[in-house]
Structure 1
Amino acid sequence: MSQAAQRKYRTEVEEFVSRLELRARKLVALANALEKSADKSDITGYRPFREEVDNFKALSLIIAERLKRLEKHPKKEELEEQFHKLQVLMLRIVIKTSLKFFFVMSAKENLPLGAREMFQSELRTLYEAERMISEPKYISQLDASARDDLDAAKSILEEIIEKAPALLNFGARKKKRKK
């Protein structure tokens, strides 16, 4: 690959990592706000946090792809390390915030329609986090409490899913019209 192309990728990665850092700061702020209002929180209060996690993950995928294309460059290791630290931070925030939010939601008698689908999506996110923290590059960065918190969050979430109402499916049962 040409030097010009490499320079372009390096510049993009630097810019994207900078944006990812801003997203991480926003995640921290949203997680702190959720923690302060945990007892009063509901699904709609959790949604901005989840959307920001999704945005963080999407940008992370782009950065990971660009880093793969970036050949040996003096700044590549530094960028990879910065990216890795942001991934660890995101994992910690997601695990900690999810655990607290799910604990509060598990105590609620009634959850809104569609809660099951939302929480099933959350369960996929937790399994993805579990896969990530099992990778050697993350194991050394996360202590045993992160794994314990993740396991507890998954367990609580599975209980919530069992009692949460699903969205109504109006297409499942069609009435025959009389002529």
Structure 2
Amino acid sequence: MSQAAQRKYRDEVEEFLSRLELRARRLIALADDLEKHADKSDITGYRPFREEVDNFKALSLVIKERMNKLESHPKKEELEHHFHKLQLLMLRIVIKTSVKFFFVMSAKENLPLGAREMFQSELRTLYEAERMISDPRYVSELDDSAKDDLDIAKSILEEIIEKAPALLDFNSKKKKRTR
């Protein structure tokens, strides 16, 4: 690949990393807000945080793809290191915020319709986080409390899913009308 192409990909990675930093700052702010209002929080209050996590993950995929195109660029290692620091930050925020939010939700008597589906999606996110924790790039950067917190979050979430109402499915029991 030409030097011009490599430079283009490096510039894109640098630009996307600066955007990822902004997303990380938003995640921190949203997580802080959720923590401050945890006792008054509900599912709708969690949604902006959840959406920002999804945006962060989507941008991360784009960055990974661009970084893979940087063959032997002198800044590749530095860019990868910065990327992994941001991934680690996101991972810590998601685990910490999940534990606190799920703990509050587990104490609620009644959850809204559709809560089960939302929390099932959250469970998938926690399993993704568990895979990341076992990645050698992150293992040395996370202490045992992160793994413990993740296990606690999964346990609380599974309990919530058991009691959470599902969306109504009007197609599941179609009855034939007889005339």
Q: TM-score range by the shorter chain?
A: over 0.9
User: Is there any run of 5+ residues in structure 2 with no aligned partner, and where?
Assistant: none
What's 2:166 paired with? Answer: 166
Cα distance in structure 1, aligned partners of 2:23 and 2:121: 21
Q: Deviations over 1:82-141 (max 9, x none)?
A: 100000000000000000000000000000000000000000000000000101100011
Deviations 1:44-85 (A, max 9, x none): 000000000000000001101111110111111111111000
Query: 2: CA distance between counterparts of 1:5 and 1:117?
Result: 44
Tell me the distance in 1 between the aligned counterparts of 2:81 and 2:136: 14
Q: Distance in 1 between matches of 2:5 and 2:171?
A: 51
- In 1, the alpha carbon distance for the partners of 2:111 and 2:80 equals 41
Could you tell me which runs of 5 or more consecutive residues in structure 1 were left unpaired when the two chains were aligned.
none
What does residue 101 of structure 1 align with? 101
Equivalent residue number for residue 176 of structure 2: 176
Q: Which runs of 4+ in 1 moved over 4 A?
A: none
1:50 aligns with 2:50: yes
Q: Is 1:67 matched up with 2:67?
A: yes
Q: Give the Cα–Cα distance (whole angstroms) in 1 for the partners of residues 162 and 173 of structure 2.
A: 23
Letter paired with 2:174: K
Q: In the comparison of the two structures, how many residue pairs are matched?
A: 179
| Structure 2 residue aligned with 1:14 | 14
d(CA) in 2 for partners of 1:146 and 1:175? 50
Normalising to structure 1: TM-score of the pair?
A: 0.98
Q: What TM-score do the two structures reach when normalised by structure 2?
A: 0.98
Q: Which secondary structure state, in structure 2, belongs to the residue aligned with residue 96 of structure 1?
A: helix
Instruction: State the match for 2:5 in structure 1.
Output: 5
What is the aligned-residue identity percentage? Answer: 83
Partner of 1:154: 154
Structure 2: how far apart are the matches of 1:31 and 1:162?
25
Instruction: Tell me the C-alpha RMSD between the 2 structures.
Output: 0.7
